Amino acid sequence: MSRNAAVADRLDEMADRLEATDVAYKPRAYRQAADNIRGHTVAVETLAEDGVDGVKQIDRVGDAIAQKVIEYLDTGRIEELEELREELPVDIEAITRVAGIGPKTAADLYEALGIEDLDDLEAAAEAGEIQTVKGFGATTEQNILDGIDFARESHQRELLGDARPLADRLLGSLREFDVVDAADTAGSLRRWRPTVGDVDLLAASDDSETVVEQFTDLDGEIIEAGTSKASLRVDGLRVDLRVVATEEWGSALQYFTGSRDHNIVVRNRALDTGLKVNEYGIFDVADVDDPDAGQCVGSRVAGETERSMYESLGLDHVPPELREDHGEIDAAAAGDLPTLIEEGELRGDLHLHTDASDGQNSVAELIAAAEAFGYEYLAVTDHATGSGMVGGVGVDDDDLLALAETVRDAARDTDLRVFTGVEANIGEDGSVSVDDDVLAELDCVVASPHAALDGDGTERLVAAVEHPEVNVLGHPTGRLLNRRSGLDIDMERLAETAVANDTALEINANPSRLDLRGDYVKQAVEIGATLAIDTDAHQPSSLDLARFGVHTARRGWAEADDVLNTRDADGVADFLDV
């Protein structure tokens, strides 16, 4: 298992502890390094094989942090972190999860009351001791009591699949307010990151106070509410709303969508041409003595629409999913941005389950659901037996052939093209868990890893991709968001093998997976691999989840032509060689 996340957690803790002891600038450096390590597609332990210089390939990682990374990989500890822990023996990660408590407050509470963890904190608040500390009052004490249960429960980012439906519901309400001119998501939610820290919403209105008032009446518990922003807790998620003037809608949307790194590149590009970018617009400050004199100095050249923001900087409009500082600005300047695949361009689904294995519906019901969803074709790919299948879920070889017959029968009653198929298991040695003679009888063979999902999986997946009967590599890394990181893979090699063998690489749209992830998709697209966006649905309502796969593909710069199931049924049949 890649240790990137573990390393990043240690560095984030370093940042908190340095901040608690009032060290300047270093905390930010550690946090940026941690973010980049967490998101890096290559395992740190692989980079560390080349020593400090290998680890330094990660952006914002220099000599000092690279050495600490190697120290951690070698010894399981970082000496400087251990010293900081001794200096402040506080579970700082837990305590700072309480809303309003940061590293410095945690340090203050330790100094004054010896508070080391959430239990200490709760006991002190209940005993009324917090408000006796200088700088703290009864309100803060109550806020701690109100926030402590939430802090105990939530220590992970939320799945996009949970946050997006909530956002859609709240957006629907916001847009019905008379005083609201426009409303949208912002932040990582709008970029369709697989997990989000909170739900960011933005509204345009010339009466922000009324919007905040009406919004805080909608639902949930108020965390804070001012004249232009409010925070709620709804269904266990934090929701942040900002309200901006209508003429600043585009600039605010651009600013609050981020990512931070993207915005830094945008801002620097603007500075080069005498423009200043902020959440209020783009301003020509070439003839201004002090561009930092205020928020809106100089003459305003853009801000009402997001498109105007990019265009006034000589850039094509950059879709939110691309705004990660992964080369999108250069591409936008050169007119080379991809025409991303859109929701609605999928014409079928090639990875679906019925009650023959662990799905909930019959073949006929699944076909009817796909037809109602507007699809032109589908593949019935129930689980085969084999490693990773527990409780008798999988279908054995003889029954697979019988199931295929059932599927062919059902297909006669529909206009949809229905492909027979299977989801076979990839063994630890790369073998496929169904007999070749049986696979040869089936139209669409998805092969997926279901067991032994840690360590380097490249050889194993390459072997499966090279199998002549395999058409689609299902959820390639086997990751489950917030639960397991899945297989490490050499994406370049895997994608090259997929191209050579006419095997599609799946983007599994299930919000718990989103596998392949966006940056792997980008590598696969650059190499020319064919993708398949599948829901892996086990019930008809899950067909709706396809949009999460589409946006993950967009995060990987994929165009419709890169995706197998944007083709018509004949095109897919050609690819499947049936």
Q: Contact residues for DNA (CB under 7 A)?
A: 19, 24-26, 28-30, 33, 56, 59-66, 96, 98-106, 131, 134-141, 143, 187, 197-198, 200, 224-229, 238, 240, 256, 260, 264, 272, 278, 292, 295
User: Comparing C-alpha atoms, which of 80, 104, 101 is closest to residue 16?
Assistant: 104
DSSP per-residue letters across 316-333: PPPPGGGTTTSSHHHHHH
Residue with structure tokens 């859109």?
342
The least CB distance from residue 327 to DNA, in Å, is 15
The least CB distance from residue 312 to DNA, in Å, is 20
Q: SS3 of 567, please?
A: coil
The least CB distance from residue 190 to DNA, in Å, is 12
The token duo for 316 is 């094509």
The least CB distance from residue 186 to DNA, in Å, is 8
The least CB distance from residue 182 to DNA, in Å, is 19
Quick one: 29 or 366, whose CB is closer to DNA?
A: 29
The least CB distance from residue 181 to DNA, in Å, is 18
Quick one: 119 or 224, whose CB is closer to DNA?
A: 224
Cα atoms found within 13 Å of the Cα of residue 86, Cβ hemisphere only: 6
Quick one: 143 or 477, whose CB is closer to DNA?
A: 143
User: Comparing C-alpha atoms, which of 41, 44, 42 is closest to residue 10?
Assistant: 44
The least CB distance from residue 294 to DNA, in Å, is 8
Contact between 359 and 535 (Cβ < 8 Å): no
Quick one: 203 or 472, whose CB is closer to DNA?
A: 203
Q: What dihedral do alpha carbons 349, 350, 352, 354 form, nearest 10°?
A: 110
Rounded Cα gap, residues 266 and 301, in angstroms: 15
Helix %, strand %, coil % for the chain, to 5? 45, 15, 35
Quick one: 237 or 514, whose CB is closer to DNA?
A: 237
Beta strand ranges found along 327-396 (DSSP E): 348-352, 377-380
Quick one: 33 or 174, whose CB is closer to DNA?
A: 33
**Three-class DSSP labels, 430-456:** CCECCCHHHHHHCCEEEEECCCCCCCE
Which residues lie across from 383 on neighbouring strands?
Answer: 423
Quick one: 287 or 429, whose CB is closer to DNA?
A: 287
The least CB distance from residue 439 to DNA, in Å, is 48
Distance (Å) of CA 289 to CA 280, 286, 299, 563, 573: 20, 8, 13, 52, 66
Quick one: 268 or 299, whose CB is closer to DNA?
A: 268
The least CB distance from residue 245 to DNA, in Å, is 11
Q: What are phi and psi for residue 563, nearest 5 degrees?
A: -110, 120
Q: Which residues of 400-409 are buried (b: 16+ CB within 10 A; e: fewer)?
A: beebbebbee
The least CB distance from residue 22 to DNA, in Å, is 7
Quick one: 156 or 227, whose CB is closer to DNA?
A: 227
Quick one: 105 or 552, whose CB is closer to DNA?
A: 105
The token duo for 327 is 């080369």
Rounded Cα gap, residues 444 and 422, in angstroms: 7
